[in-house]
């Protein structure tokens, strides 16, 4: 389970105190050796460093309250528990490392005894990210929904990586309007540029728009575009295939030339979407295009090149390869037929010998063999020993003469 970045130091200190050092921290989670989970949990529980769960602060406030506690102290205890619960809820949001919530309740003077409730939320997004308008609105409504009488516009959200979002009606409302319109123009420009570069896979677009402080009209805009290196390599491979240069590795000089040409095309393509710059400024200069290498990009290129070479070789030598495969199939087929024939012949001979040995003919079925004539003997000798038969005939002829 991921742990908030603000809780990790206390947990690491508790584990070090218990001499438990064979763990790793990866992506906000503590990974412990298999079979030692109990020891680590016991060390964290003993030091009171276990990550809090939703509802723990409220449950602890209920346990700490007594019958002899004054109403003011009980309200203060409930207030602290509510602040802790809201901080934990916001800290658990995706992309937020830490968050703290403070709110105060003040009574207006007069007979109506109206309450003035305000809240401040300090948020530390992950890394160098900043809160967007949707996330700020979600945080405001979350806090306002947990505190009775608090309105979302009375919640100030402080982005520790960026700006402070003041409540409506407070000082700085004009700043809020400026930031809101700035983000609206940037989102609109980002969508237009991204659609215009839809032919580039995995392209990234980040615009920056400057507005007039009085009219809030766009004055200037810059765009940073990230293009994956595989896009330029794909263009090189397509040109190489047309030129029949095979599947060799990309030529660095040719690849650099393609990058220069394509970056200039992208700058001219996007420049028409920007607001008109001042006199003497080329809109293309306001478009920064950077190439980045994707993870596994080189491996994909090498695999593609190898596959390209294999297909080319197969196309050039398909006749000899086809004949060799056909001959191999014929040999295997003939071998299978011969094996089957020999197996059947051997089985039949074994069966015959087995039957002759196991089931001898009864003694009353034995008949005396008829006497063989010299002609029969000679025929048998011709079959068994042709050379001996020839000698016998030669002797017979010599005796007759």
The pLDDT-based confidence of 343 (bands split at 50, 70, 90) is: low
Which structure tokens are listed for 238? 């397509």
In the sheet where 115-125 sits, what is the strand order? Answer: 96-107, 115-125, 155-159, 164-165
The pLDDT of residue 360 is 52
pLDDT at residue 130 in the model: 82
Q: What is the percent of the chain where pLDDT is above 90?
A: 20
Highest mean pLDDT among 12-16, 222-226, 244-248, 370-374: 222-226
Q: Is the dihedral of CA 245, 247, 253, 257 positive or negative?
A: positive
Above 50 in pLDDT, residue 105? yes
Quick one: pLDDT at residue 172?
A: 45
CATH number of 176-292, picked from 3.30.300.30, 3.90.1150.10, 3.40.50.720, 3.40.50.970: 3.30.300.30
| Exposure letters 195-221 (e unless 16+ CB within 10 A, then b) | ebbeebeebebebebebeeeebebeeb
Look-up of token digits 């830490």: 98
Distance CA 289, CA 197 (A): 12
Instruction: Pick the more confident residue, 284 or 342.
Output: 284
CA torsion, ordered 331, 334, 340, 341, to nearest 10 deg: -140
Mean pLDDT of 63-88: 88
Higher pLDDT, 144 or 65: 144
Q: Kindly tell me if the per-residue pLDDT of 400 is higher than 60.
A: no
Lookup: tokens for 114 = 């109206």
Most confidently predicted of 56-65, 175-184, 328-337: 56-65
The span from the CA of 79 to the CA of 73, in Å, is 10
Q: Looking at residue 203, what is its pLDDT?
A: 92
Does the structure show a pLDDT above 60 at 308? no
pTM as predicted: 0.46
**22 pLDDT above the threshold of 80:** yes
Q: Are strands 96-107 and 287-292 parallel, antiparallel or unpaired?
A: unpaired
Query: Taking 70 as the threshold, does the pLDDT of residue 210 lie above it?
Result: yes
Number of C-beta neighbours around residue 231 at 10 A: 20
Nearest to 340 by CA among 332, 351, 330, 350: 332
Which DSSP string do the residues of 260-292 spell out, in sequence order? HHHHHHHHHHHHTTSPP--TT--GGGGEEEEEE
> How many whole angstroms from its chain centre is CA 20?
32
More confident residue, 289 or 22: 289
Q: What is the pLDDT of residues 129-147, one digit of tens each?
A: 888 878 888 899 999 999 9
When pLDDT is cut at 50, 70 and 90, the band that residue 302 belongs to is very low
Burial class, 136, CB count within 10 angstroms (exposed 0-12 / middle 13-18 / buried 19+): buried
Two tokens at 374? 């010299």
The answer on pLDDT for 355 being more than 70 is no
Check whether 382 has a pLDDT greater than 70. no
For 155: left if phi > 0, alpha if psi spans -120 to 50, otherwise beta; the answer is beta
Whether the pLDDT of residue 169 is over 50: the answer is no
Greater model confidence, 343 or 181: 181
Q: For the chain, what is the mean pLDDT?
A: 78
What is the full DSSP assignment across 193-216? HHHHTTTSTT-EEEEEEEE-TTT-
Same fold, 72-169 and 176-292: yes
| 326 confidence band (pLDDT: 50, 70, 90) | confident
Angle at 168 between CA 162 and CA 174, to 5 degrees: 65
Give me the sign of the Cα torsion angle 319, 325, 331, 334: negative
Cα angle for residues 247, 251, 253 (degrees, 5° grid):
160
Q: Where are the beta strands (DSSP E) in 109-193?
A: 115-125, 155-159, 164-165
For 72-169, which CATH superfamily applies? ANL, C-terminal domain (3.30.300.30)
Q: Where are the domains of the chain?
A: 7-68, 72-169, 176-292
Q: What is the reported pLDDT for 243? A: 59
In the block, tokens 């506690």 appear at 69
pLDDT at 313: 58
Average of per-residue pLDDT across 187-196: 90
- 347 vs 233 pLDDT, higher one: 233
* 352 pLDDT more than 90: no
Q: At what angle do helices 133-146 and 71-91 cross, to 10 degrees?
A: 150
Q: How confident is residue 388, by pLDDT bands cut at 50, 70 and 90?
A: low
């Amino acid at each position: 389970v991921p742990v908030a970045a603000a809780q990790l130091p206390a947990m690491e200190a508790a584990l070090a105190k218990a001499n438990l050092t064979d763990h790793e921290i990866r992506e906000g989670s503590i990974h412990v050796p298999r079979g030692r989970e109990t020891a680590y949990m016991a060390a964290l529980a003993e030091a009171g460093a276990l990550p809090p769960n939703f509802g723990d602060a409220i449950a602890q406030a209920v346990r700490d309250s007594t019958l002899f506690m004054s109403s003011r102290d009980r309200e203060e205890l409930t207030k602290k528990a509510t602040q802790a619960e809201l901080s934990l809820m916001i800290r658990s949001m995706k992309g937020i490392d830490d968050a703290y919530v403070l709110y105060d309740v003040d009574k207006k003077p007069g007979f109506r005894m109206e309450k003035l409730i305000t809240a401040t939320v300090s948020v530390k997004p992950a890394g160098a990210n900043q809160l967007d308008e949707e996330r700020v609105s979600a945080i405001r409504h979350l806090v306002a929904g947990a505190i009775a009488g608090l309105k979302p516009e009375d919640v100030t959200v402080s982005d520790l990586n960026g700006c402070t979002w003041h409540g409506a009606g407070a000082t700085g409302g004009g700043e809020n309007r400026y930031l809101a319109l700035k983000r609206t123009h940037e989102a609109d420009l980002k969508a237009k540029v991204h659609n215009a570069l839809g032919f580039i896979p995995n392209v990234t677009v980040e615009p920056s728009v400057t507005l007039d402080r009085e009219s809030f009209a766009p004055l200037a805009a810059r765009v940073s575009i990230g293009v994956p290196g595989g896009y330029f390599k794909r263009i090189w491979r397509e040109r190489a295939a047309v030129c029949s240069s095979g599947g060799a590795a990309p030529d660095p000089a040719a690849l650099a030339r393609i990058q220069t040409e394509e970056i200039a095309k992208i700058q001219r393509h996007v420049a028409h979407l920007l607001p008109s710059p001042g006199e003497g400024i080329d809109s293309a200069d306001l478009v920064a295009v950077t190439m980045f290498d994707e993870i596994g990009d080189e491996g994909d290129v090498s695999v593609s090149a190898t596959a390209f070479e294999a297909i080319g070789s197969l196309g050039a030598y398909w006749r000899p390869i086809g004949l060799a495969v056909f001959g191999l199939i014929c040999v295997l087929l003939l071998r299978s037929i011969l094996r089957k024939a020999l197996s059947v012949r051997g089985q039949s001979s074994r069966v015959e010998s087995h039957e002759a040995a196991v089931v001898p003919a009864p003694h009353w079925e034995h008949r005396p063999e008829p006497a063989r004539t010299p002609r029969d003997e000679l025929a048998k000798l011709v079959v068994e020993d042709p050379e001996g038969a020839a000698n016998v005939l030669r002797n017979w002829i010599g005796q007759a003469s």
